[in-house]
Amino acid sequence: KGYAVIVVAEGAGEDILGTSTETDASGNKKLPAIGEFMKKATEVYFKKHGETATVKYIDPSYMVRSVPANATDSLYCMQLAQNAVHGAMAGFTGFSVGLCKNKMVLLPIPNLVATSPRMMSNTGRTWERVITCTRQPNTVPHA
């Protein structure tokens, strides 16, 4: 369909971009800006081949951190990530990974959002604003 999602692990790319001795405000070692590197490299690749590509870069690493992760957090995140990769490599799309009854499961995103208490009308102004702001095509069928 002409869309792709690229997920890069925090800390990846030290062999390409080098390592740093600097630390951030929390005292953690500053990691290479692999996301920005991948964004630019992807844009350059498509431009070189005469194609147009809209590349969005989202770095949630500092938005979601409020306290250091403990061992349980690290294990849970590892399991979520591994199961997401397994699902993608198995050819599944449109899913999220979660823990249900102590089992890691692949959850269809349409089922998740259909039962969400925060529903958005696909014919409403909020959805139109989302489509406009992200410059994405509106693939939701209208009623």
- pLDDT for 41 equals 92
What's the pTM value of the predicted model, to 2 decimals? 0.43
Share of the chain above pLDDT 70, in %: 88
DSSP labels, 94-120: SEEEEEETTEEEEEEHHHHHHT-SS--
The two tokens of residue 24 are 């951030």
Helices of type H across 24-143: 34-48, 61-64, 71-89, 109-114, 125-134
For the stretch 66-121, pLDDT in tens is 567 788 888 998 999 999 999 999 999 889 999 999 999 999 988 877 766 666 77
For 26-77, the pLDDT digits (tens) are: 777 777 788 889 999 999 999 999 998 888 887 766 555 556 778 888 899 8
Backbone angles phi, psi at 44, to 5 degrees: -60, -45
Tell me what pLDDT residue 64 has.
59
What pLDDT is recorded for position 63? 57
Q: What is the pLDDT of residue 106?
A: 94
**Is there a contact between 130 and 123 (Cβ–Cβ < 8 Å)?**
no
Q: What is the mean pLDDT of the chain?
A: 82
| Residue 86 near residue 76, CB atoms below 8 Å | no
